[in-house]
Structure 1
Amino acid sequence: YHFYLASKTTKEKLPIFTVYALMTALMIAIGWSGEAAANTWDLLAIAGITGMNVIANQIAFWILGHSIVYIVWMPAIASMYYLIPLLVNKPLYSDKMARIAALMYLIFSNNVPIHHLYMVNFPVSVKVMQEVLTYAVVVPSMLTFFNLWATVKGASVKINLISMWISISFAGAIAAGVTGISNANIAFDSIIHNTMWVPGHFHAMIFYSIVPAGFATLYYMVPMLTGRMWFSSKIGWLHMVGYMIGTTMVVYGFDALGLAGLTRRAEVFPRTPVYVTPEIISALGALIADAATLAWLGNLVLTLLKGRTANLEGLSMGEAINTVALQLGAPELSGFSAPSVIGLIRAEENKIRSFFTKAKMIK
């Protein structure tokens, strides 16, 4: 694509969304190369063709172990870069910053496999190097979060399901990323190494950022692909609330189990409250999130069967997304819209203030 553009002597660049798609493709190639090397080595060793260096094999295996989180998160970042400027009707704050962040994600996502192997007998200098490299992954994330925040700053944002889901994806990436940063710390890793804290971290990334960006995308893509508006925006809001409550319970339960020392993939554990209670919380949370997602699925089926015509022909992408977003606005609460409820609260507040002002004057 770039050679083609160069031959046309044009300065056109790859769109930001496409840049992140390209980085994702490269991450897949690099990440799975380590997995392929480790698995091939296993088979050759079993067949007696080669020997086995267990530590080197583990390092090759874990090249994918870290990068896979970024492989599935990069499309979410791409969705943020694509949707947020359209929803706020403003250009991206810094195009160059977005491209630099994409390249840094590629560089740092695949070179930190040893931070999953801190308990292996590596030289301390190697472990410290890995800790520093892991913290370096924070830099492109901070560039991304600042860039998107600066884009939204000062804009008038309408509350709707699309803007809510993409906002959850933005905030959720920060919240989930914190548990990853702490996991990179050698001292803290000695406490939670290979425990349920690790699944808690990457489930938080999936539940709080990756999936919400996916839903933000689906909520505008379905009407565009099918030509039908969503059957019920209220079911959509119910889905969002139920999903977030349920997934938060799952992540909390996993993190609590990790801090209590329960190892990953443990099928048998002591029936003590420190383990049983988080297990129950996680299980109930999963049921709530699943029920909410089934509600979304039902809404999707009803949309395909009974949704009203979308009438998006001839609209630009931004106009089409904002048209769909308008239909997915905040639901009414007890006959009043959210702004009306706020207005009533303020009116009552003014009455109370007026009462005390008059009382002071009488006194």
Structure 2
Amino acid sequence: MAFTVIEARKPKPPYKLAHAVRSEGGPAVAVGDAGPEGVAQQLANAISIDLARMQAFLGLHDTPALTALPDDALDGDAFQRAVLPNADGVVVRAAFTSDSFDREGFRAYALASWMEWYSHGRAAEESRRWLLDGTAQWLVARDLPQQQDKLALRAAFAARLLQARGRGAERAVHAWLSVREELGPCLADALAWRMVASLAQQMGEPRFRVLSRSVLAERPPGDARASLLDPGFAALLAQAGAPGQARLTRQFDALFKAEQARMAGTLDRIAVPQVRFSAQRMAGNTFEVHYRTGPAAGEVPPFSVLYRTPGPWDGEIAPEALSGSTAPAPACCRRRSRAAPACSPRWSGATRCSAAVPGWRHSAGR
């Protein structure tokens, strides 16, 4: 006779921030008190309203508190989520006292972080991550026409970049983590928003809500049963009456082409500085990576180099795991064990959602 013992994880105490401004309504949101009077309170109330809408849309109950911490060392469009080894909950941080703070981008990031935490990371698996990223953006932007216009332009630009490399909607549907690394979170989030908004319109909100709940709002067991009981994303699409992944690929391809055609005049005026990399073998298994910026329409915007030593089995590299410096790159960046992914440019241009267009400058964002 064979039997199996599955041991449940020991629950951790919830994270609590002692000195914080708390939302005036529920769900509870705690924000570190910083900046001018009222800034933290406004942010706490806004995220609390977002969580309440998400809770109603996904049919959740008793959502735990979310904590947001200030960090003036971050850029206004850079957000991070804490890893809590001895506590439980969602703790995010941003430079919300900065003049360049991307408020709507951070609100969507907070929702996506919460859904990833609630699903024990299942919602962030590659096959369904685009739905997670896009739904968070969609929930925040639903009542914000200007935010929708901003996301639409970014999404069209992202689609143009993908298709220029021969990687259209098929990559977005089947290899989303690679797409996120290529585009950066800002453009990838916008592209995911476009995909989700199109799918929600096609399915109708009631059926799209059923799909979202099955993918994003199911909290799996906190033990080994989680992987055994997962039906898979393809099965969840079929159960909700959504198009299969092959059909989604065709529909998104048509959508991307239509959006690029609609915004062709604006997209053609966006100048993208060129950057070239070359690697030279050094002693042992290390390489020296050289980079050079090429000509662009107008002045090349300032940029920094992000670098990290990836392990052989690393998946997506989290943005907060990257170190950065202004050019020239430091020795720790020039000499890496793997040259290709070790150095990547961080633009203040299009890939960081501040596209250089003659006569105006697209508003910066995450």
Normalized per residue, the structure richer in strand is 2
What TM-score does the superposition give when structure 2 sets the normalisation length?
Answer: 0.24
Query: Which structure's relative contact order is higher, taking Cα pairs within 8 Å and 6+ residues apart?
Result: 1
What TM-score does the superposition give when structure 1 sets the normalisation length?
Answer: 0.25
